[in-house]
Structure 1
């Protein structure tokens, strides 16, 4: 019996009912919409809400997710191939909305939430060429967003910009940000003769510069003003705002240290480092103040200016930094997808290996709970990926009351469309999380001793960076699933990919033909179609996959299998698929990507082994 139409029908029914549920939710829930105009106000509120919360739920709206069906993370993906797919998506597509919902849990299953929805757009605020993103857009995503009333004009013109940490560092180097508030201690090392000469020369230069500035300030005649201007040019004096400044170029960190030590005894002079590329210093800027009060005033002004510049550079990333600094557990509905986007856009470029990514991400966000894995605890919901459909299922099958309280967040200060409120998914995640905890009898409370102490049951859903893996320990294994609704595992070595012919048949028909094609194929193997002209064959007995590969490549091939091969049948091990993902061979058809991987590996094999003139034979040495 073919159950696929029934599953599709049930999914569509859940989706339509889920939309009705969304309409009812809109009337009760409000999410504060945040653009450039009210970003600073919302940031100040979040600085109170996040530290006082128990969890922080996040959700995102992107310009796309995958360009072909096989680009999505599938049950037969290992941790490595799944990460490669998520990495490709995060680097290719862009975030347009980022919803954040800090929430705390009160008695009697009461949820106190403070939801915000931030409209984002990567804009070059300081005209530095950063960020200069060139991102892809998936037409189905944009069509769906437009149908739901997404305001693209507001996103482009009023969306909040941002830089990642690495980009911000590069931007500061590019604009030559001064570094002030220096803590300098006198060096205990013995000064060389060259150091003494250098210090005396700089000290003399500073002394004459200060005298020149003081005389220039007291002069009133035109001639004195002209002479003062000429003297300033000769001395290299400039103005930093309304105060005189002197720039001293340096060649080494040792010279920087000597100048800063010398200035400890010079009053009313504020030193600031001018950074250069490579985390070095190219000069020291000295600003002359008139008194101790003026010096204190200048340092306050400079600190305020630095903070304003940093805000322009950081942008929305300040919200990410707040969540990271709080170390609160983060809720997501697709941990791998969301975390790769957060790392790519706000921290740094994604590392090549999945273990490096996990270590890097967990240093900022030590605990990420994937609510989707909690949903899969209910067997009938294993294939339900829609949040509202999951909520509706729980509502119809379980009695779990959860009260939601959303304190007034000054919604009048933001533009809100009463018929459509963006950013509801983060609030739905909170609500879904509380319902599941209630049904499964899981305590969602965080211990007072710190947010590292979650309930043991919640640890089972924490830091699982694979949507089809139920245990974080399985990320290091090479065992994979084949079907989403079957928990049986198989090692990658026992799986082969088969493509190159237009099957035009079901998996069961293909299995029967393969079984008739060669005596080596036993009854205990399975076939799953993963594309229109590509399938995977699963051998449950060790060694049969290699034997089948050898049979296909053998010169003594005969019978129906020979006919398959003559018609273009190609086979490859799981390592070829791993190569496709690792090298980023993201063709529209999986068969084309596998062909490219086979050709590439063949060229490398030829380059290594076929040029015998370049091979050293150790037997003749």
Structure 2
């Protein structure tokens, strides 16, 4: 390919992302082939430079104003992403480890099909989630296999759910070895230790003597001594009342005998129920038993974690994660695989960075090339780069056994687009992570999680394709106007109503019920709000207000998002946010979803 003329080479590369889906298949991973695919993925991840991720969910928003908007701040963007992440279900997770060497891009494509199946019968993860029919229709058109998803999708638990599950299960396979205590023993400690030491000693002696007794006497002796069997080995439980007694028991057992193995028995409500002592027959038998316990615990952990094994592998690798919409993707990842989302964006970013310290958002890279700042479509952005820059990328994808769906093409484009941006922006190919830092300083600049705007200040844009910014303080939300009114009609009506509208201003409809007024001159917004609330209001403005027009500042919109007032119409949400403080205190956020039982699907029957 390198010998082709530049014009032909460029034309070939401009269609690379289209041809690649026809020439190479992407591996589809379900529950049936998850174990072997996990090992392959682990090997590809260890040899890669980056890993690209992309998600398929059952929906993204309920109403038009729930979408991320140019006028959203970091806070309001996070609240919207949090709302969507907690309601819509993740069904497919594309994870593509890839290497980038000079102009050669080599991805290893994996598509993991997921479904929140309660395999432990503990109510985790929840079956309740929202669905957008239009979104599902689009997934069907792309070739998504819902049968494979429901019947053979990989289940999972988040880290928080796994911890709760271990407590509920109370399985002694989840062992915990404790080192010697360093504090001085009290008289009560000494009495407790001597009592359990004497009991364990009598039990060991009694068990050895049972080999000489007949079956009936041996059974009676085991009952009296509260002796049981752990598999083929004898055991007994030592009740404890505190973590201090757990420490003392383990310390005593460690110095008392070399043939005893202690296990921690978790209590159902948390803490420790008992210490189980297992008697082994020899040093070799003890080592064998400990290996058996470790293998059993690891198998149980893998079964509980499910797909989260992939998330943990990506996190442990410390490889830079490439995403096209990091805020929406990683609120889902945090909610599904880590723990419930924090209440504010600062806590979210802090929590996320402890797990994924290097997240590269392609949307942020695009803003360094002027014409791409207003583009949201990767295909259009690739076409622009192919027409204006010579940045050849040679893509080579390893063939896989299972074919995925059209969603794969999105990740192909993302990897290809990222490679071209790195070439154009002169980002070094040697961007591997060392000591928790990216080796290429240029990439450190693009580690970013944000909403639609470029910074954390209160300056926002109002239109997607207009880069002009305005302070949030200069925005006013209007609602209660006549149905069917356009932005132009509303602007014309306002122009005649008050003196503030003699200066430059614009109007944009957020949805059919609410609009934003942009005052390009500072302080005019507050003048208008004062006039609306004044008892001395007059002229045409008084007439408009009498017809039901209401106005409020940007803080009310923030309050709507913070309180989770996600009504279908923004006007209704703004009305609720302006209610008195008592009502605001009662506007608690609920995650419960209610529906008619006639439309409930029982997934246990599938």
TM-score (norm 1): 0.87
Task: Give the corresponding residue for 1:140.
Answer: 134
1:172 corresponds, among 166, 180, 201, to: 166
3-state SS in 1 of match to 2:46: coil
Which residue of 502, 523, 527 corresponds with 1:522? 502
Taking only aligned residues, the RMSD between alpha carbons, in angstroms, comes to 2.4
1:488 matches 2:472: no
Query: Which residue pairs with 1:206 in the alignment?
Result: 200
For residue 537 of structure 1, report the CA deviation from its aligned partner: 1.0
Which stretches in structure 2 are left out of the alignment for 5+ residues? 1-13, 587-606
Q: Could you report, residue by residue, the CA deviation over 1:521-571 in whole angstroms, capped at 9, with x for unpaired residues?
A: 332222212111311112223322121111111111111111111111000
1:189 Cα shift?
3.6
Superimposed CA distance per residue, residues 133-156 of structure 1 (whole angstroms, 9 cap, x where no aligned partner):
311111111001112221111101
Partner in structure 2 of residue 502 of structure 1:
482
Task: State the match for 1:579 in structure 2.
Answer: 559
Instruction: Spell out, residue by residue over 1:321-377, the C-alpha distance to the aligned partner (whole angstroms, 9 max, x if none).
Output: 111111111100001001101100000000001100000001111121111232344
Whole-angstrom CA distance in 1 between matches of 2:212 and 2:109 = 59
Does 2:427 correspond to 1:442? yes
Please state whether the residue corresponding to 1:520 is helix, strand or coil.
helix
Correspondence list, 1:383-394, <5 A: 383-394=374-385
* Paired residue total: 572
Structure 1 unaligned regions, length at least 5: 1-18, 607-621
Contact in 1 for aligned 2:73/2:453 (Cα 8 Å): no
Q: State whether residues 120 and 155 of structure 1, in contact with CA within 8 Å, keep that contact through their aligned partners in structure 2.
A: yes
SS at match of 1:209: helix
User: Equivalent residue of 2:518, what SS?
Assistant: strand
- The CA deviation at 1:289 is 0.8
Question: Could you say what secondary structure the match of 2:438 adopts?
Answer: coil
Counterpart position of 1:53:
48
TM superposition shift of 1:304: 0.6
Match for residue 191 of structure 2?
197
- Cα 1:123–1:555 change in 2 (3 A) is same
**Other structure's SS at 1:464 match:** coil
Change (3 A) 1:53 1:502: same
Contact 1:21–1:392 under 8 Å retained in 2: no
Find the residue that maps to 2:496 and give its secondary structure.
Answer: helix
Equivalent residue number for residue 357 of structure 2? 366
Counterpart-to-counterpart distance in 1, 2:235 and 2:66: 58
The answer for the alignment partner of 1:283 in structure 2 is 274
Q: CA deviation at 1:491?
A: 1.7
Equivalent position to 1:225, from 202, 215, 225? 215
Q: 1:278 to 1:353 in 2, by over 3 A?
A: farther
Contact 1:104 1:113 in 2 (8 A): yes
Q: Write the deviation string for residues 61-82 of structure 1: whole angstroms up to 9, x where unpaired.
A: 1110001111011010111111
What's the CA shift for 1:280?
A: 2.1
How far apart are residue 379 of structure 1 and its match?
4.5
The structure 1 residue matched to 2:403, chosen from 398, 403, 416, is: 416
> C-alpha displacement at 1:458, in angstroms?
3.0
SS in 1 for 2:289: helix
SS at match of 1:167: helix
Tell me if the contact between 2:59 and 2:132 (Cα under 8 Å) persists in the aligned partners. Answer: yes
1:102 aligns with 2:97: yes
1:600 is displaced (CA, Å) by: 4.5
1:514 to partner: Cα distance:
1.1
Secondary structure at the aligned position of 1:426 is classed as: helix
1:376 and 1:463, CA in 2 relative to 1: closer, same or farther beyond 3 A?
A: closer
Following TM superposition, by how much is the alpha carbon of 1:604 offset from its aligned partner in structure 2, in angstroms?
Answer: 5.8
- 1:15-52 deviations in Å (ceiling 9; x for gaps): xxxx9986533222321111112111111122222222
> How do 1:370-409 residues align onto structure 2 when only pairs under 5 Å count?
370-408=361-399
Contact 2:51 2:320 in 1 (8 A): yes
Indicate the SS of the match to 1:517: coil
| Range 521-530 or range 60-69, more displaced | 521-530
2:130 aligned with 1:124, yes or no?
no
2: CA distance, partners of 1:259 / 1:188: 14
Q: In 2, distance between residues paired with 1:191 and 1:425?
A: 64
CA distance in 2 between partners of 1:440 and 1:374 (Å):
9
Choose 322-331 or 487-496, whichever is displaced more.
487-496
1:589 aligns with 2:569: yes
Over 3 Å counting, the alpha-carbon distance change for 1:174 and 1:279 in structure 2 is closer
Q: Structure 2 vs 1, CA of residues 444 and 515 (structure 1 numbering), >3 Å: closer, same or farther?
A: farther
The CA deviation at 1:92 is 0.5
Q: 2:460 matched to 1:469?
A: no
Specify whether residues 237 and 592 from structure 1 end up closer, same or farther in structure 2 by C-alpha distance, changes over 3 A only. same
Q: Is the 8 A contact 1:57 1:102 kept in 2?
A: yes
Measure the CA separation in 2 of the matches of 1:285 and 1:349.
Answer: 34
Distance in 2 (alpha carbons) for counterparts of 1:386 and 1:367: 24
Local SS of the residue matching 1:53: coil
The counterpart of 1:33, out of the listed 18, 24, 28, is: 28
Q: Distance in 2 between matches of 1:238 and 1:389?
A: 70
- Give the corresponding residue for 1:326: 317
Question: How far did residue 449 of structure 1 move?
Answer: 4.5
Secondary structure at 1:48 match in 2? helix
